[in-house]
Chains A and B, each alone.
Chain A
Amino acid sequence: MEMLLMGAVLAMFGLAVSCLAFGAATREEPAPKQEAVKPVAVTARFFVDPPAVPVAAALNRVPIEALLLQIENHVRLEQAAAECFLESPNPTLLHSRTISSLVN
């Protein structure tokens, strides 16, 4: 009788352990919290990213003779663009992009 009870208790214990193990195996893992996207501070990479130099600052480094030539070239290009517009007036030609180094 005692042996029978002992066997029953052990069986119940084994069943309980099996249930716990099954429950643990089939439990849904909670979705991991998505980390908020943090803005990454981009560090300047010397020799890789050229520093953004404003046009005005760049022009200040140009010798005045070269600057005057750039201005004259700009005027010629703008006149040519305006003449193209007058030959065939339309908004696209009026606002065509210039290759002038004075403004690019």
Chain B
Amino acid sequence: MIDADLLKGLPPAEAESVLALGKRTLLTTGAELFHLGDAADSIYLIARGRLRLTLPMQVRSREEDIMVEERSSGQTVGWSALIPPYRFTLTAVAPLETEVIALSRDALNTYLAAHPGTGYAVSLNLASVIGQRLQLFQAMWLREVQRMVELRCA
């Protein structure tokens, strides 16, 4: 069983039940799991391997996918599937052979509604994943603003 951040604190049997809702998918090196703007129907737990999350950026008049985050085994990607408007806000690519467990929104919602204790724990874990990312990017954004201010005032 994988040590998934989304299932932290759940009894092993309960975590197994949630994982059993998912579908394992193997991504070859360079394969794209989802693309920016696509409909987001599933959230993904990385069983093994790694995913690069990218955003497009103009570099010398050319659009390039720039890595903004990297996720590895046990981490969750694609939480846009649980939050309206259910569209991916990043592109996810496997830089090496990677296995993910896809949990569909419908299956997860049905299960968690029937098991409120598990639903509460998963919601807290999801809030933690999103909150950590928010804090991380707040700090990164402020560092860039600071540099911009220093350049302007130099």
Which residues of A are interface residues toward B (Cβ below 8 A)? 64, 67-68, 71-72, 75, 78-79, 81-83, 85-86, 94-95, 98, 103
* Contacts of B107-150 to chain A: CB distance below 8 A: 132, 135-137, 139-140, 142-144, 146-147
Provide the main secondary structure of the chain B interface: helix
Query: By the criterion of a CB under 8 Å from any partner CB, how many residues of chain B are at the interface?
Result: 20
A81 to B64 Cα, complex, angstroms = 24
Q: 8 closest pairs, A vs B, by CB?
A: A82-B139, A82-B140, A78-B140, A82-B136, A85-B139, A72-B67, A86-B135, A71-B66
Determine whether the beta carbon of A95 is less than 8 Å from that of B143. Answer: yes
Please, which residues of chain A bring their CB within 8 A of the CB of B146? 95
B66 touches A75 (CB 8 A): yes
Q: B13 to chain A: closest CB distance in Å? A: 33
Q: How far is the CB of B59 from chain A (nearest CB, A)?
A: 6
A86 contacts across to B, CB distance below 8 A: 132, 135-136, 139
B152 contacts the other chain (Cβ, under 8 Å)?
A: no
Provide 27 A-B residue pairs closer than 8 Å at the C-beta atoms, listed in order of the A residue: A64-B60, A67-B60, A68-B59, A68-B66, A71-B59, A71-B66, A72-B66, A72-B67, A75-B66, A78-B140, A78-B144, A79-B136, A81-B140, A81-B143, A82-B135, A82-B136, A82-B137, A82-B139, A82-B140, A83-B136, A86-B132, A86-B136, A86-B139, A95-B143, A95-B146, A98-B143, A103-B147
